[in-house]
A and B are shown apart, each in its own frame.
Chain A
Amino acid sequence: MVEMVNRPYEAAFEKHALANPDVLCISADLTSSCEIDKFRDNHPDQFLSMGMAEQNMMSFCGGLGLAGYRPFVHTFGVFTYRRPYDQLMASIAYPRRKVRIMGFLPGITTPGGMTHQAIEDISVMRSMPNMTILETGDATEVESICEAADSIDGPVYCRVLRGSVPRLFDTPIVVGQMREISLGEDVLIVTAGITTEEALRATAALEKAGVSVRHLHLNTIKPFNDQALLDHINSVRGGVITLENHVTEGGIGSLVAEVMADNGVGKKLRRLGLKDTYAHGGSRAYLMRYYGLDALALTQGVEELLGQPLNITEDDLAQARVEAVHSLAKAEGL
């Protein structure tokens, strides 16, 4: 089974910040929740507490950017764009400040309910000119997110996983490069973040049921490589299905739909995710089941997409082993 890594962000940020003196650690009263409490204690000179005042924090970080610093903003994703949207736009995105926004608790990864769940962040950030969007889907991506984000000439929004995170990949994020997890020919599954692990589970069951799965994992959502996606869409017979920890409007489902429509691709597309709804508070597993974001929802979606019953049960999925995806899979790719 996959290795679980405890608090991968903590050490990764410290390593990156210490190697880059112009990186500053910014916190908005969620320091331990964002795994930077040890950094605060050990490196107070590189840490700035901005309190529970996100509007000021965003413009202040714009000013730090003007002074040549690269602030890493740490808070829950939802607090980085809902209240301080104007400041994010005017003080960071417009002037292309090198502010690295580390948004923790993406989507339903928190029992905090509507106020804590960033379910439309990708949609908001995709429509913001100059903003880059990265999303982490495993411990290796969390470990490489700081370096990836800091390589961007402009502002970056990152969906970061915290706590105990599975290690699915053995190579770091390469900005702009999607991961080719499997290269089957019946159906294309596109996932990002925590839905990738679900798709790995679903893939095992789908393959058993005779469906040849092509699976892509996105860690760079904007800018996006349309051609690479098109090549994969053209390689499957049965259509495309997306599963996202986000509303289905404006996220990766929309992204895939736009690429297909722009290029006149006449294949079926099913977009799974939060369907024009808020979520409520609960455990991740419960919420993923309740809102149809899990492996079972994905296999059912594939059934509908292909128009054939696959008879995959919850038990089949529970027994599906999720193994780490080694770079070998990538090497077999294009």
Chain B
Amino acid sequence: MRNEKTTEDIALGIRRRVFEHAMRNNGGYLSQACSAAEQLAWLYNEELNLGAPTLPMIPKPFEGVPHADNPDYHTGAGYNGPFEPEFDRLFIAPAHYALVAYATLVETGRMAAEGLEMFNQDGSSVEMIGAEHSPGMEVHNGTLGIGLSTAAGLAWGRKRRGETGRVWVYMSDGEVQEGQTWEAIQACAHHRIDNVKAIMDVNNQQCDGAMDSVMEVRDIKAKIEAFGGVAVECDAHNLDEMREAAKTPHEGKPLIILAQSNPFHAMPILEERFPRLHYVRFKSEEERARMNASIAESLGVEPIDYAH
């Protein structure tokens, strides 16, 4: 499944797809593509040990929630391959990155491009905030801060069963405002859970704006270490640094890579919208057209013909 494209190409492809989608839909999670594209591209193209997808390339429609009367229910985890002892698992803790995660599945050949067209359409499983039945998702994480705890429980269980596969978590820095994140790190340290690895998109942004204006979180690295984890920083747009960071020893402790990202990386015009970057909805046709031209040029594509 891997290395058919370079990770750089996949990251660029992710941004192009998210850009096209946002232009057509008059807005979207553009900034998350800026900050996260290399991280998700690197995870899927290099770091994660995943099997071939087990679910159809074109996602099935929504087939109901888990219920005793819905025995055929399944999650979207099959897009990450089968559950085998040697394979890794991935939780996208900030489910608001779903559009970027779906674009990653398309770029890595795990989902058809048609899947992205189903994003946020009524009756579709390709939901705006990734649900557990959405492609590439295994648990609900839309409520921020629960992802690392879930991963820790699964990781402890997998270790007990002698499975070699790891549990990866894609995290966001806003989640460190939630107390549960710290409960999870201390529990991993206490129980020596070291088959949990996380990469955190440290973009310093949250829904209301710049994190420092909403709630200062201070030194995330020092705090993780104080709670018993191992933290290492890297440039979120420098793949070599990311690769090196992942090699950091962390015996008996969880590893959290703090990927310092730029929320307008590769789309510099988005800086105009700072500090409201969580969901960029164009304020006028003029802005939409101007962003279309500028971002298209930045990404090396033609402007999107969104009128049709």
Contact = CB atoms under 8 A, between A and B. Distances in A.
Interface of A: 48-51, 53, 55-56, 58-69, 86-87, 90-91, 94-96, 129-130, 153-154
Contact of B157 (A53, A56, A63): A63
Q: Which of B140, B150, B152 has the most A CB atoms < 10 Å from its CB?
A: B150
A60 B186 contact: no
B157 A67 contact: yes
B65 interface: yes
Contacts of B243: none
B158 A67 contact: yes
A94 B140 contact: yes
B274 to A, nearest CB: 30
A96 B157 CA distance: 17
A146 B160 CA distance: 23
Interface in B154-174: 154-158, 160-161
Given A64-B154, A95-B66, 6 more contacts: A48-B156, A59-B149, A62-B139, A63-B152, A64-B156, A95-B140
A263 to B, nearest CB: 22
Contact of B191 (A48, A58, A65, A95): A48
A21 to B, nearest CB: 10
Interface in B127-156: 132, 138-140, 142-143, 145-146, 149-156
Q: Which 9 A-B pairs have the closest CB atoms?
A: A63-B153, A67-B157, A59-B149, A56-B183, A60-B153, A63-B154, A53-B183, A63-B150, A55-B180
A86 B146 contact: yes
B187 interface: yes
Contact of A56 (B139, B140, B161, B187): B187
A95 B154 CA distance: 14
A60 B161 contact: no
A91 B145 CA distance: 11
A146 B265 CA distance: 54
Contacts of B149: 55-56, 58-60, 62-63, 87, 91
Main secondary structure on B side of the interface with A: helix
Interface in B173-187: 179-180, 183-184, 186-187
B143 A86 contact: yes
Contacts of B180: 55-56, 59, 87
B66 A94 contact: yes
Give the size category of B's interface with A. Answer: 20 to 34
B78 to A, nearest CB: 14
Contacts of A94: 65-66, 132, 140
A67 B154 CA distance: 5
28 contacts: A48-B191, A49-B190, A51-B190, A53-B187, A55-B179, A55-B180, A56-B180, A59-B146, A60-B149, A60-B152, A60-B156, A62-B153, A63-B149, A63-B150, A63-B156, A64-B157, A66-B138, A67-B153, A67-B156, A67-B160, A69-B160, A87-B180, A91-B140, A95-B75, A96-B67, A129-B65, A130-B66, A130-B68
A130 B150 contact: no
Interface in B58-108: 65-68, 75
A64 B132 CA distance: 17
Contacts, number: 107
Contacts of A56: 149, 152, 180, 183-184, 187
B157 A69 contact: yes
A271 to B, nearest CB: 29
A61 B161 CA distance: 16
Given A53-B187, A60-B184, A86-B146, A129 B154 contact: no
A292 B184 CA distance: 43
Contacts of A68: 157, 161
Contacts of A60: 149-150, 152-153, 156, 184, 187
A58 B150 CA distance: 8
A63 B66 contact: no
Nearest to A62: B150
B139 A66 contact: yes
Contacts of B146: 55, 59, 86-87, 90-91
B66 to A, nearest CB: 5
Contacts of B67: 96, 129-130
Contacts of A69: 157, 160
Contact of B186 (A53, A62, A87): A53
Given A53-B186, A55-B180, A95 B132 contact: yes
A59 to B, nearest CB: 3
B187 A51 contact: yes
B140 A64 contact: no
Nearest to B67: A130
A90 B186 contact: no
Given A51-B190, A53-B183, A53-B186, A91 B66 contact: no
A55 B153 contact: no
A51 B186 contact: yes
